[in-house]
Structure 1
Amino acid sequence: MMKLPILIWLALSSFSLQANSSQWSNFTDTFLEELWLQYPVWATQVGYHKYDEQLPAPNSKNLENELVWLRSNQSKLENVNPKDLGPHQRSDFLLIKNFIDKQIWYAEVFKEHLWNPATYNVGGAFAGILESSTLQNSQKAARISKRLSLVPAYYEAAQNILQTPTREHLDLAIQQSQGLLGLFQRQLKNACSHWLNKSNDVKLCLARHQLALNAVKNYGSFLDELKNRTKKFRSFRIGSDLYQSKYQLEIQGNLSAHEVYQKALKRKEELHSEMVPRASKLWNKYFPDKTPPKDERILIKSVLEKLSDRHVKPKDFIASIKRQIPELEQFVKQSQVVELDPTKPLKVRETPPYMRGFAGASINAPGPYDSKRETYYNVTPLDHMTPTEAESYLREYNHYMMQILNIHEAIPGHYTQLIYANKAPSLIKKILGNGTMIEGWAVYSEKMMLEEGYGQDRDELLLTYGKWHLRVVCNAILDYSVHNLNMSEEQGLKLLMDDAFQQRAEAEGKWRRATLSQVQLSSYFAGFTEIFALREQLKKQKGEKFDLRQFHDEFLSFGSAPVKVIRQLMIRDKQET
């Protein structure tokens, strides 16, 4: 949040922006510099280290300054006619406008800072410094020392601003605060002790570290106390009005939330129909002496259960992922569906404890200012599970499912897309990336790889893909139903286990995500739908001249812009601007 005086930003709001190329470029340069001053933790995470020593406290004064800055830039954009800009600049204009509108809505309407204690996790503020490839260790430690000094005030403000939380977000915050202690007790203490050259600097850093560590512990105790004394928690359901507004701001698609929900319902039935003949074929392979069940759902589920028998042991889970990454790389190179960058290796690692509790696997990619930093494939180990829980989890993430997951998260999914994004010429498109495009590409890449012939045991893999894609479809149905139709946990689990054939552990984990997030679970299907539709439209227009590799390279070259913006740039339909 902003630290500059309000009057400065009020004065800036009178600025009149003329829409020509050079002045627009100057505006975006200024906007980005102010953006990082406004959000220094975000700056650190994308590799911009100028403001590493700042950690604005989440108090009402800084929130007010943030809103003044946002409105100032909102006013500037009102003086711009996007039709006067070139196509790439026009798309940047739309991204900036949506970002500003979204941030104002979050601050004034959604007000998550008042009820989500998991918002106040400073782990990312330090991890971005620790993992930097552009800073020397002594520089990292100096920045860490200064930022550590601000942690006590940060958590004091967080405790003061929090009101009635949701039980679900409070539980997540408690879990992550315990993981955060590990980061402080090990990596940050080590940085103070071993990366500073002067003994006085070491002593100062360690003193600041101890105060910051105490603040983290106190915040954890505060959360426990808050849970014990709260008699009535806020509902995790945000309701239809808030959901519809958030959907438009986050998805930035051509379809409404209800339209995507209806498409998901239709796609669910289509997938069931497609899976029946493949399940029947596999039934004869795995159960040659048994009569197949008449109920088609039971048939599909029975075969999927049999396929789930093939999985690794819990201790080999992460190692199995490491082994498969080179196989995916080899197929992509041979099939030439998209270009890979051999200078940007992917490293599989255990998810850091302070990041756990939301998703079992994720990509942690370098920011556009620190493109040399390593890209991590975070995988949460199963050592926190009971044997029964681990077995259920591994039956879900069996031999076939893991191949699709690794396509989605790694190659040519998130990892590949984010490498491309960091090469895009527009910093705006890299930074103000659209999550729907990012998730949509990962989902699209799964289908595309199978279309291009990836994988042995084709029938097994394709049936499992049907189940996996049902997950994407049912994510959207679940997300919409929870926040718009008051779907109960029992109904949600029934949807996921009966219609999407998920193991209970996976279904329960997805229900938890639906209680912790809104709209994000719909982004997978929404993004996939628009990307696939764009590809099919271009295939129809170009006929035999359509080149899949060319389509992928061009699509990814626009960074993480919304699909509807990329569509305008690729179709070049002037009427759509």
Structure 2
Amino acid sequence: MTRQFLLVPALLVVASTAPAGTPAMAPAKAAFARFKSEFIEAYWKQNPESAVAVGYYKYADRLPVPDAAERRRSLGFGDLWLRKAKAFDEASLDVQDRVDLRLIRNELESERWAATVFRGHQWDPSSYNVAGTFGLLLGTEYAPLDARLRVVGKRLPRVPAYYAAAKAALKDPTLEHTQLAILQNKGALGVFGADFLKQVEGSTLTSAEKARLKADAARAQAAIQDYITHLEGLEMRLRASGWRSFRIGKKLFETSFEYSIQAGCTAEELHRRALAEKEKLHGRMAELALQLWPKYFGTEPAPADRLDLIGRMVERLSQTHVSAEGFVAEVKRQIPLLESWVREHDLVNQDPTRPLVVRETPEYMRGVAGASVSAPGPYDPKANTYYNVTPLEGTAAQKESYLREYNEYILQVLNIHEAIPGHYVQLLHANQSPSLVKAVFGNGAMVEGWAVYAERMMLESGYGGNTPEMWLMYSKWNLRVVCNAILDYGVHVEGMGEAQAMRLLTREAFQQDSEAREKWHRAQVTSVQLSSYFAGYSAIYDLRERLKAQQGRDFDLKRFHEQFLSYGSAPVKVIRELMLPKVN
């Protein structure tokens, strides 16, 4: 999921000053407020790409060249601000500020680890792609077109140097990331294609400015094509002589899990919990399948094998789906229906002024997931939120396989997850968080976990009619979340191979072949991220059930949702600390 931000962060400007007539801040709180304000401004200056991703455009005209000198500057920046952060005594801060301090430290420490230990810049060619930020600048109306084109015009001349540095940095890349980089950078070429030239011609820039933009765009395209050609040659050499494994191993996996998930447990512990949850889901699904069997198979004897029984029933229900041509249109049709359900059942507040825009996934974003959300950040909360849906491609058989995976039941759950009340609603709430730190340094496990939690919460509210069909197919979807964590750990730590992965996904998770192969590919080009869904979901569900047990009849579901979402995209263990300060 990508994120976006605005021009002048007024929230930061006033962060260390109190309105007239209000009590002054305590010295420690005032000092920390100044620190946060200065840090975030310095962070965006050092990381202008990340700033644009959250809607902060002050430094948008800068395109850092990812060479050795830039990496040294980035490490120096992190070391400086870590020293400043460590000067604060947590005991002198209130709980909200203590959480912000931990998030800042975690961000800086994880970036240092990524640069000095993980070193993805050396072996992951797909980490180099200019399309995302250029696409946001050209497609987000944060300023008049002429102003945005002039910003783009300042960045464009640095694109050739950017890709030259990328080629120089690569050492011992993986084949899988090389192939992904080729695919996504081919998509990047389109960012400077016909639509861009139309924008230039449709502007009121001078003839000289237009000519310069076109010439620089042509040079940028040439640099991207040169990188693609370089990678294609590299791919041939790798195939001939062998290549680095994409598996990162237990030590790197556990450290990455600790920094990015912040779950309060180890990756190994989460893996064990996922294995146990898989067994529970199989038991519940077998009961539902047996209940439905006579309705769909009449007097035919039900299979004695539990997985065969579930698989037969899932396959039968999967046959009901939309056409390939109507897939994106069906997604668009369901969004207002989900909005109405959430509103009528008073589950969580929505913002009717911020509609969700369903679009085809831009080409430079394809190759990892079939659906995603691109959301604005707290600096630009009025910008569009996009629900990216990748059109179906491939043979008729491949399309049919995909449609059976995203059948009548599962497509609804997907839209709950990605849109309402999943990612779209959560990210709108995050932008309203009074803590900018919690909003901008969002935790992926919380974000994904909320979306998974939203699926179950919607069915618990009666969405789908409480039919055994809907619950069976939801359980299949939820089983995918569980198997994501099993696959992620199994592939990168235990050496799970393709055949074993495909058996897990198709035989035990009942996925269509096309979905399983896409997930196997995803496990190869990402690590830890697939674990975030189950980690976040299980933590949110555990927190809710703990509060329900404590509060009894006083528990209010919407109040829980609103309070939980008010803390931005902070890790669930942090939110738990804020909601249950007396619980260890």
Q: Please classify the TM superposition score into its range, dividing by the shorter chain length.
A: over 0.9
In structure 1, what residue type is equivalent to 2:89?
Answer: N
Q: Match for 1:90 among 91, 98, 109?
A: 98
Aligned to 2:438: 429
Question: Does structure 2 retain, via aligned residues, the 8 Å contact 1:527–1:563?
Answer: yes
Please say if 1:108 is aligned against 2:128: no
Structure 1 residue ranges (4+ consecutive) displaced by more than 3 angstroms after TM superposition: none
Alignment of 1:477-556 (within 5 A): 477-556=486-565
Aligned to 1:401: 410
Question: Does structure 2 retain, via aligned residues, the 8 Å contact 1:168–1:516?
Answer: yes
Aligned to 2:220: 212
Alignment of 1:68-467 (within 5 A): 68-230=76-238, 231-382=241-392, 384-456=393-465, 458-467=467-476
Structure 1 distance, partners of 2:415, 2:40, is 34
Deviation at 1:457, TM superposition (A): 6.7
Question: Does structure 2 retain, via aligned residues, the 8 Å contact 1:366–1:375?
Answer: yes
In structure 2, what residue type is equivalent to 1:100?
Answer: L
In structure 1, what residue type is equivalent to 2:444?
Answer: G
Structure 1: unaligned runs, 5 residues or longer: 1-17
Please say if 1:53 is aligned against 2:81: no
Moved more, 99-108 or 287-296: 287-296
In structure 1, what residue type is equivalent to 2:176?
Answer: E
Aligned to 1:3: none
SS in 2 for 1:372: coil
Question: Does structure 2 retain, via aligned residues, the 8 Å contact 1:138–1:196?
Answer: yes
Deviations 1:509-564 (A, max 9, x none): 10101001110000000001110111011111111111000000000000000001
Percent of pairs with identical residues: 47
Deviation at 1:456, TM superposition (A): 3.2
Deviation at 1:132, TM superposition (A): 2.4
Question: Does structure 1 retain, via aligned residues, the 8 Å contact 2:548–2:555?
Answer: yes
SS in 2 for 1:304: helix
Deviations 1:432-459 (A, max 9, x none): 0000000000011111111111113711
Structure 1 distance, partners of 2:296, 2:340, is 30
Moved more, 144-153 or 222-231: 222-231
Deviation at 1:191, TM superposition (A): 3.0
TM-score normalised per structure 1 = 0.95
SS in 2 for 1:50: coil
Question: Does structure 2 retain, via aligned residues, the 8 Å contact 1:144–1:188?
Answer: no
Moved more, 209-218 or 391-400: 209-218
SS in 2 for 1:513: helix
Deviations 1:357-408 (A, max 9, x none): 00000001112211111111000001x2110100011001100000111110
Structure 2 distance, partners of 1:84, 1:257, is 32
Question: Does structure 1 retain, via aligned residues, the 8 Å contact 2:321–2:404?
Answer: yes
SS in 1 for 2:193: helix
Question: Does structure 1 retain, via aligned residues, the 8 Å contact 2:423–2:447?
Answer: yes
Question: Does structure 1 retain, via aligned residues, the 8 Å contact 2:459–2:466?
Answer: no
Deviations 1:209-240 (A, max 9, x none): 11111111111111111112232211000011
SS in 1 for 2:537: helix
The change in CA–CA distance for 1:566 and 1:19 in structure 2 (over 3 A counts) is farther
Structure 1 distance, partners of 2:140, 2:401, is 37
In structure 2, what residue type is equivalent to 1:318?
Answer: V
TM-score normalised per structure 2 = 0.94
Deviation at 1:178, TM superposition (A): 1.1
SS in 1 for 2:326: helix
Structure 2 distance, partners of 1:489, 1:401, is 25
Q: Match for 1:468 among 470, 474, 477?
A: 477
Moved more, 319-328 or 221-230: 221-230
CA RMSD of aligned residues (A): 1.2
Structure 1 distance, partners of 2:571, 2:91, is 18
Structure 2 distance, partners of 1:336, 1:38, is 42
Structure 2 distance, partners of 1:78, 1:556, is 28
Structure 1 distance, partners of 2:521, 2:82, is 36
Aligned to 1:14: none
Deviation at 1:193, TM superposition (A): 2.8
In structure 2, what residue type is equivalent to 1:339?
Answer: N
Structure 2 distance, partners of 1:248, 1:183, is 36
In structure 2, what residue type is equivalent to 1:503?
Answer: Q
Structure 2 distance, partners of 1:233, 1:189, is 40
Question: Does structure 2 retain, via aligned residues, the 8 Å contact 1:19–1:81?
Answer: no
SS in 1 for 2:351: coil
Deviations 1:20-76 (A, max 9, x none): 111111111111111111111111111111111111101000100100110011111
Structure 2: unaligned runs, 5 residues or longer: 1-25
- Aligned pair count reads 557
SS in 1 for 2:303: coil
Structure 2 distance, partners of 1:19, 1:115, is 46
Q: Match for 1:558 among 561, 567, 575?
A: 567
Question: Does structure 1 retain, via aligned residues, the 8 Å contact 2:335–2:420?
Answer: yes
